């Protein structure tokens, strides 16, 4: 088959074809759930699935690529093909996506000489290596080779960042040189000069917007007089940042804008069809004068919620799409009030039962608790430094780094960081917390009590900036650390090995003595277990942490990600495949303190206050 760009339409084997696509990021969805989410996209009436490719997830270490497990892009595309659907692939190299560092590997920035997203030899050489690694996955899966891929996007919203046509030309040629033959696209907001700055005549321009479809399409047509109109990011919701409300958009308003877009003959990629989750430490951040880390949930108020269940928006969009294209019959499980489950598992029903009720919630008590200090031998590898190194100098992409030094301050003093804290520091003296420094509040100073002994700074990277000029900045303590103006030296430093949490650390926790009481003083780890019948492992759940303040959670060794009492989300998504029949285990790392020792494995989420 052939896919091409005609004077007015996309052409599939020479016939006009409308792209009806939805975004599913394979790296935000448990791989055992890919097929389920893809099939549900088809049931909404979509004929295409779109995904970014997260370069930094695949090449965490220079020259070593990982395309296994949850990063098996080839398998994801094969599942798209198995549903008879097409695929749009957006390999970047920059993707934004509210993903840490916008998808760019942190090691690109360590020596400060690489020129990012421009015509710079070191950057282009690294991109070339990345595309070479992708080629065996993408090239044989193009539509003209019998695969699902019909479009490939070059760069991502480049017009909002720069206007270097030489860079774009070289990047386009690099994509061609590895064997990609399908049409290439660009995407930018139809505002100002972004469409012109972010593209080339050889790239088909598409827009990104979520409202005012008529106006946006007119601006797109002005920038590109011929060819099919396409919104390749139709924003049907929005992402959440910690400390803000949970963003939603009315299903009726989004459906109306989608209807206007399709009535104009446009093609669309719904961003997101299914948002998924920023598992582990993968969330990004924004900094436009104030640093705002992205929340763990990437629910996005999408047609398919974080647990893969159809929302009101799913049904509203499906009704709109049905006016312009045939849609499959909807199974009972996907009808309003249905379970949202499509696969039948032996002994647990046919997927058509009603959604579980809170009666299926399971309370889990963390009956063993140990302070971080007792697990340090299992999660640290200490090195010594005269001045505090950054995360990047330590080879730490994310998570936590513990900095230690001995001090003699009989009168106490004021601790300061010369330049900036990135991103949050728990300050402790002789094991006692004395304060927190937060980048978001531009904190750089804290008062210390009298102390002769150990000063500890537990520094958390809360997410690398994913958009704008602060992409790639180092994490950690930026500048010298001083007390009353006197620089501190002789630091012992270690990243904490938390994703994955070493089995040796879990064994130490399991062997701990069961402790009484309901409170938990951090930084500390707690562990607890619960049992599930086989039927209880077939649904996605949510972990509620009422009474906890800030930290990280693992279920059966799988890192769910960060929690924070400031919200908006109060629950963490637990993919069904992570659970198992019989005994299951929860580990919580609480940085501060908790007034409870019980968490709840719930069937419904609490994502926070909603606003239209």
Q: Catalytic site residues?
A: 157, 233
Radius of gyration of the chain (CA): 25
Omega cis (within 30) before 147: no
Q: From CA 38, how far away is CA 33, in angstroms rounded? A: 9
The β-bridge relationship of strands 451-461 and 424-429 is antiparallel
E strands in 260-398: 267-274, 284-287, 291-293, 362-365, 368-371, 383-385
The candidate with the shortest Cα–Cα distance to 529, out of 557, 503, 569, 500, is 557
Residue 407, classed as helix, strand or coil, is: strand
CA 413/CA 402 separation, integer angstroms: 21
* Residue reference for tokens 């900045």: 473
DSSP conformation class of 502: P
Strands 284-287 and 464-465: parallel
Rounded to whole angstroms, how far apart are CA atoms 297 and 275? 8
Written as one string, the DSSP assignment of 269-298 is EEEEEE--B--TT-BEEEESSSEEEBPSB-
Q: How far apart are CA 340 and CA 612, in angstroms?
A: 25
Nearest to 23 by CA among 236, 319, 252: 236
Cβ 454 vs Cβ 404: under 8 Å: yes
Residue with tokens 């000029």: 469
CB 67 within 8 A of CB 137: yes
Please report where in the chains the tokens 């593209």 appear, as a residue.
199
Name the H helices within 483-567.
503-510
Question: C-alpha distances in angstroms, 41 versus 17, 58, 207?
Answer: 18, 25, 21
Contact 559, 327 (CB under 8 A): no
Q: Do 75 and 82 contact (CB within 8 A), yes or no? A: no
Angle between helices 165-177 and 121-138 (to 10 degrees): 30
Residues across the chain? 612
Angle, in degrees to the nearest 10, between helices 503-510 and 372-379 = 150
Decide: residue 371, CB within 10 A, 0-12 exposed, 13-18 middle, 19+ buried: middle
How far is 79 from 444, CA to CA, in rounded Å? 49
Nearest residue to 317 (alpha-carbon basis) of 295, 301, 340, 296: 301
> DSSP letter string over 68-85?
SGGG-HHHHHHHHHHTT-
């Amino acid at each position: 088959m052939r896919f091409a760009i005609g004077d007015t339409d996309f052409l599939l084997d020479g016939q006009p074809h409308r792209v009806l696509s939805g975004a599913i990021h394979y790296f935000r969805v448990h791989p055992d759930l890919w097929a389920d989410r893809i099939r549900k996209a088809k049931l909404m009436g979509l004929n295409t699935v779109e995904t970014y490719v997260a370069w930094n997830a695949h090449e965490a270490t220079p020259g070593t690529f990982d395309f296994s497990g949850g990063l098996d892009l080839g398998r994801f595309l094969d599942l798209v093909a198995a549903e008879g659907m097409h695929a749009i692939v957006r390999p970047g190299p920059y993707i934004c996506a509210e993903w840490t560092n916008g998808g760019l590997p942190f090691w690109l920035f360590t020596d400060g000489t690489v020129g990012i997203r421009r015509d710079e030899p070191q950057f282009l050489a690294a991109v070339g290596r990345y595309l070479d690694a992708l080629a065996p996955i993408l090239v044989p899966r193009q539509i003209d080779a019998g695969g699902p891929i019909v479009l490939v996007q070059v760069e991502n919203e480049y017009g909002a960042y720069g206007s270097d046509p030489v860079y774009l030309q070289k990047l386009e040629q690099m994509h061609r040189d590895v064997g990609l033959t399908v049409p290439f696209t660009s995407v930018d907001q139809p505002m100002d000069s972004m469409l012109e700055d972010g593209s080339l005549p050889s790239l088909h321009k598409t827009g990104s917007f979520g409202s005012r479809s008529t106006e946006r399409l007119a601006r797109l047509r002005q920038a590109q007089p011929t060819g099919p109109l396409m919104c390749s990011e139709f924003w049907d919701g929005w992402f959440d940042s910690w400390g803000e409300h949970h963003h939603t958009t009315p299903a009726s308003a989004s459906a109306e804008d989608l209807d206007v877009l399709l009535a104009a003959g446009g093609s669309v990629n719904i961003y997101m069809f299914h948002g998924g989750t920023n598992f582990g430490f993968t969330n990004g951040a924004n900094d436009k004068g104030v640093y705002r880390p992205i929340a763990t949930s990437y629910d996005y108020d999408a047609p398919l919620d974080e647990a893969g269940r159809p929302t009101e928006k799913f049904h509203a969009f499906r009704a709109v799409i049905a006016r312009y294209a045939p849609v499959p019959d909807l199974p009972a499980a996907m009808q309003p009030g249905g379970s949202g489950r499509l696969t039948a598992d032996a002994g647990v029903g046919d997927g058509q039962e009603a959604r579980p009720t809170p009666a299926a919630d399971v309370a889990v008590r963390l009956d063993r608790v140990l302070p971080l200090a007792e697990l340090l031998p299992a999660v640290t590898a200490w090195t010594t430094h005269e001045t505090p190194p950054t995360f990047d100098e330590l080879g730490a992409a994310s998570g936590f780094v513990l900095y230690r030094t001995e001090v003699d301050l009989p009168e106490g003093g004021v601790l300061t960081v010369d330049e900036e804290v990135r991103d949050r520091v728990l300050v402790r003296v002789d094991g006692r917390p004395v304060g927190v420094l937060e980048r978001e509040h531009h904190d750089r100073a804290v008062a210390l009590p009298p102390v002769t002994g150990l000063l500890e700074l537990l520094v958390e990277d809360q997410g690398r900036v994913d958009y704008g000029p602060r992409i790639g900045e180092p994490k950690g303590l930026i500048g010298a650390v001083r007390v009353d103006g006197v620089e501190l030296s002789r630091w012992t430093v270690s990243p904490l090995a938390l994703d994955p949490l070493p089995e040796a650390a879990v064994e130490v926790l399991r062997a701990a003595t069961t402790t009484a009481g309901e409170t938990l003083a951090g930084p500390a780890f707690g562990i607890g277990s619960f049992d599930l019948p086989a039927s209880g492992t077939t649904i996605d759940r949510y972990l509620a942490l009422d009474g906890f303040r800030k930290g990280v959670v693992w279920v059966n060794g799988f890192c769910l990600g960060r929690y924070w009492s400031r919200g908006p989300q109060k629950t963490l998504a637990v993919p069904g495949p992570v659970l198992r029949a019989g005994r299951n285990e929860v580990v919580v790392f609480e940085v501060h303190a908790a007034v409870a020792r019980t968490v709840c494995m719930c069937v419904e989420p609490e994502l926070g206050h909603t606003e239209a």
